[in-house]
Each structure stands twice: as C-alpha cells, then as structure tokens.
Amino acid sequence: MNSSETKLNAHSKKGAGKILESPSIFNFWQKITGAEEWKSRFMREYIKPFQDARILDVGCGTGSVLNYIDKTINVDYVGCDINQDYIRQAGKKFGSKGTFYCCDVNALSEKESDFDIVIAIGIFHHLDDKSALTLVDSVKRKLKTGGAFFIAEPVRTENQSRFEKYLMKNDRGKNIKAETGYLSMLKDFFSSVESKIVRDSHFIPWTVNVITCKNSL
Ligand SMILES: C[S@@+](CC[C@H](N)C(=O)[O-])C[C@H]1O[C@@H](n2cnc3c(N)ncnc32)[C@H](O)[C@@H]1O
C-alpha cells in the first residue's frame, strides 16, 4: 500500500465517490449542492483574508476558495491535495494566483511554513483518526505564532432528518464525526478552539461544524 492509499482509508472511491474524482463533475456537484455558496460565506464571515496573508489550503480540491478572496488584496496562497486531477485543474485555472502541490499535507516541504491562515474545508472526514491527528500536528507546526486554523466539516448532530443521515452515510468521506469527536482531536494542540454548528450552509440538508483554532502569541 502506498502513502496516499494509507491516508485515504476513510475515503470511498466506489460508486458516486468514483465519479466525483473527476474535477469537472466535482465542481458541478459543488455548485448544485450549495458548497460553492458556502465557501464564499466561510471566507467572508470567518476567514477574512487580509493583505499579504500567507494562506495554506489543505485538501484544496480544485482551488475554488481563490474565487472568494477579494481581488483588491494580494495573498500568498499555497494549496495541496492528493488528487492529481484536481491539482492539475487548479493550476490551469488559478496558476497565477497560487502555488499548488499534489501531495499529502505531511509531505509539504519545510520551506512551506509560517502561514498566517490554514484552511481545511471538508478534508478531515476523509481521514482515519490517526491520519487526522497527524494532519493537525503538521498544521500546528506550519502555522505562525498568532496564526489561525479554520476548519469546516460535515458533522453528525441530534435531530438530523433521515435524508441528511442518508447523504452523510453515502458521502465519499467515511469518518464524519460528532462535534465532540472533532474537538477532542484539536484541544491538545491549540490554546483556543471555538466551535459553531451551522445548519443552513448548503442548498441540501448538510450540517457543518466550523472550528477556529488559534496558535496564540
Ligand atoms: C470534500 S473535498 C473538499 C475540497 C476543497 N477543500 C473544497 O472545499 O473545494 C476533500 C478533499 O480532500 C482531499 N484529500 C483527502 N485526503 C487528503 C490528504 N491526505 N492530503 C491532501 N488532500 C486530501 C481530497 O482529494 C479532496 O479534494
């Protein structure tokens, strides 16, 4: 088993999962489910990129968060994803606006560090618990003191409809947790961890856990 297979053992490439490995089908799915609207809101309300911010986007997919960074500011954006086709598409569309690597975040070189902002949208539920902890540890080491780590993950809560439960059960990511599950893997690494449950994030029923971790001064 190679390293990307090891990291993806909570990720299904069967059925719909296999189809979504194609960048154009993934982008279309993101549009119709409201994931693109959600990313725009997540950037605007939570992340708020600022002039000259150094940003790392882990599991960046096709790099679409770059659509939601104010065109009047300059940022130093680095995206990494293990899906080669997504990274190729990201480079084609946003090559002049960022640097893209096809690799696991733990394999990013030492020179890619000192980030003000690290973004993780929808990657943790694709990882088993051990890989998720390794990712948190790498992010912590790549963040500047005073930097912030912004996470948005699908979350299991009480009172979800049968349809939402069905959607989560059939997601490519096979490790969707409850809020306590996400928080317990973060609390030992960061001095401040804030969590919010967002129920109106997508056009489909899809509850998201937004977590902001600060690497305090
Ligand atoms: C739900 S998609 C979200 C993509 C992107 N963040 C977005 O919001 O458009 C999850 C992404 O995580 C990537 N991924 C999964 N495991 C990874 C790993 N170990 N290292 C880097 N990327 C990974 C997948 O290839 C996929 O692009």
In a domain, 203, yes or no: no
Which of 82, 128, 131 has most ligand 1 atoms within 8 Å of its beta carbon, as the pocket-test mutant? 82
Nearest to 57, CA basis, from 139, 179, 176, 172: 139
- E strand spans, 25-134: 54-58, 76-81, 98-102, 115-121
Q: How far, rounded to the nearest angstrom, does the alpha carbon of residue 77 sit from its chain's CA centroid?
A: 14
User: Distance, CA 161 to ligand 1 centroid (Å)?
Assistant: 26
Say if residue 48's pLDDT is above 90: yes
79-118 residue pLDDT tens: 999 999 999 999 999 989 999 999 987 788 877 899 999 9
Q: What is the pLDDT of residue 7?
A: 44
Which of 56, 81, 134 has most ligand 1 atoms within 8 Å of its beta carbon, as the pocket-test mutant? 81
Q: Is 215 helix (H, G, I), strand (E, B) or coil?
A: coil
In a domain, 11, yes or no: yes
Q: What is the CATH number of the domain that holds 19?
A: 3.40.50.150
Q: Considering the chain, what is the average pLDDT of its residues?
A: 92
Q: What is the pLDDT of residue 4?
A: 40
Q: What is the pLDDT of residue 108?
A: 80
**Number of domains forming the structure of the chain:** 1
Domain range holding 21? Answer: 3-198
Enumerate residues lining ligand 1, CB below 6 A.
7-8, 11, 30, 39, 59-61, 64, 80-83, 86, 104-105, 121-123, 126-127
Tell me the whole-structure pTM to 2 decimals: 0.92
In a domain, 213, yes or no: no
Say if residue 210's pLDDT is above 60: yes
CA atoms within 13 A on the CB side of 42: 30
In a domain, 43, yes or no: yes
